[in-house]
Amino acid sequence: MRKKRVMIIGPSKSGKTTLANWLNNYDGPLRKTQDIIYGKNTIDIPGSYIENTWMYKHLISVSQDASHVLILVDQSRCDNVYSPGFARSFRCPVIGVITKVDLMLENEKLCYKQLKEIGVEEPYYKISVPMGKGMGALKERLFSRQEK
C-alpha cells in the first residue's frame, strides 16, 4: 500500500513549495518546482498543472495518492486560475488555504469568494509561513488521526 501524502495545488508563486517544505520539516533552499515532487508528507504540484486545464486529468490521477488536497489561493494576488467547481474532482478531503495573509489585506473577501466558487467548503485556513500564522491549526487538521 502506498503512503498517502498531502497534495498541494496552486498557481505559480502562491507558496506551494514553501508550505510543502514546512510540512516536510525541510529547511533547505527553495527551488522552482518543474515536476511533481513527492516529499516525506506532501505532493508538490507545479503551478503549470493548474494554470493549464488540459493537465487537470494528471492532477486527478495523482490525487489517488493523496490523503488531502490543499487548494491554495494567494491573498497577495487576485488571479483566479481555477475552474468553477474544480474541488469536486477529488475523492479525498479538499481544504482551502489562503496564503500570504500578511499581504494585501483588502483581498481577503475575494479569496473567500474564489474558494467558494471552486467548491471548497469552509473552514478555510489563513496562513503565512514566514510569520508562522495559522500553521499549527493546518498541521493539526492534516495530521490528526481523527480524519481519514
107-126 pLDDT, tens per residue? 999 999 999 999 999 999 99
Q: Is the pLDDT of residue 15 over 60?
A: yes
List own/partner pairs for 88-94 with CB under 8 A and 24 or more apart.
88/119, 89/56, 89/59, 89/60, 89/63, 90/60, 90/63, 90/66, 91/63, 91/64, 92/63, 92/66, 92/67, 92/68, 93/67, 93/68, 93/69, 93/147, 94/68, 94/69, 94/70, 94/119, 94/120, 94/121
Residue 146 binned pLDDT confidence (cut-offs 50, 70, 90) = very low
How large a percentage of the chain has pLDDT more than 90? Answer: 72
Q: In what order do the strands lie in the sheet with 42-44?
A: 37-38, 42-44, 5-9, 66-74, 94-99, 125-126
Which tens digit of pLDDT belongs to each residue from 67-108? Answer: 999 999 999 997 888 999 999 999 999 999 999 999 998 999
Specify whether domain 5-141 bears CATH 3.40.50.300.
yes
Annotated domain spans of the chain: 5-141
How high does pLDDT run on average in the chain? 90
Beta strands 125-126 and 37-38 are: unpaired
> Cell numbers of 37, please?
515532487
Which tens digit of pLDDT belongs to each residue from 23-75? Answer: 998 888 777 767 899 999 999 999 999 888 899 999 999 999 999 999 999 99
Q: Around Cβ 6, how many Cβ atoms within 10 Å?
A: 24
